[in-house]
Amino acid sequence: MSKAEISLTINDEERRVYVRYADTLLHVLREELDLTGAKPGCLNGDCGACTINVDGDPMKSCLMLAVEAFDKKVTTVEGLKNTPIQTQFIEKFAFQCGYCTPGFIMNCHALIQKYPNADDTVIKDWLESNICRCTGYQEIEEAIKAALPNYQQGT
């Protein structure tokens, strides 16, 4: 199958890469660009382990073709070093095996950017797109609340 060279903007860097038209962004990030933070889980959009951020929105990179990312701003968990949510995941021990953690951090980071006043209801709704098999969601919710600039208790 033929490949095409495309330019992707990832974590504020331009990266040139040869991709097949059918390659998912998850595959290209991990196998071609050595960005292994996004994890393969279900590969069908259910688990959220592969979540990245595209133009400000959380996206499941197993459902997106790499060529669709052309001309968009992509952020992976490698680009979120020392952000409030990354720090709070560590502070609140919001992980066990850690396999799902990059996806959760990406999703929670987007929540904080979009809804700095999020309450409990918004947080619970937002977390439904990601699945963790081994830690409690309570620690993850605590990490979000600690990282939210204007957290409001829900009613």
Told to check if 133 binds ligand FES by CB under 6 A, we report yes
Distance CA 112, CA 139 (A): 16
Give the residue ranges of DSSP H helices in 49-136: 84-91, 101-114, 120-127
Determine the interface stretch with ligand FES among 13-21, 70-78, 81-89, 126-134 (rule: CB under 6 A).
126-134
CB of 111 to ligand FES, least distance (A): 17
Distance CA 50, CA 54 (A): 12
- Closest to ligand FES by CB, 137 vs 151, is 137
Q: How many residues bind ligand FES (CB under 6 A)?
A: 23
Are 4 and 67 in contact by the 8 Å Cβ rule? The answer is yes
* Footprint of ligand FES on 44-103 (CB under 6 A): 45-50, 60, 62, 95-101
Of the candidates 98, 83, 97, which has an alpha carbon nearest to the alpha carbon of residue 144?
Answer: 83
Binding region for ligand FES (CB under 6 A): 40-43, 45-50, 60, 62, 95-101, 132-135
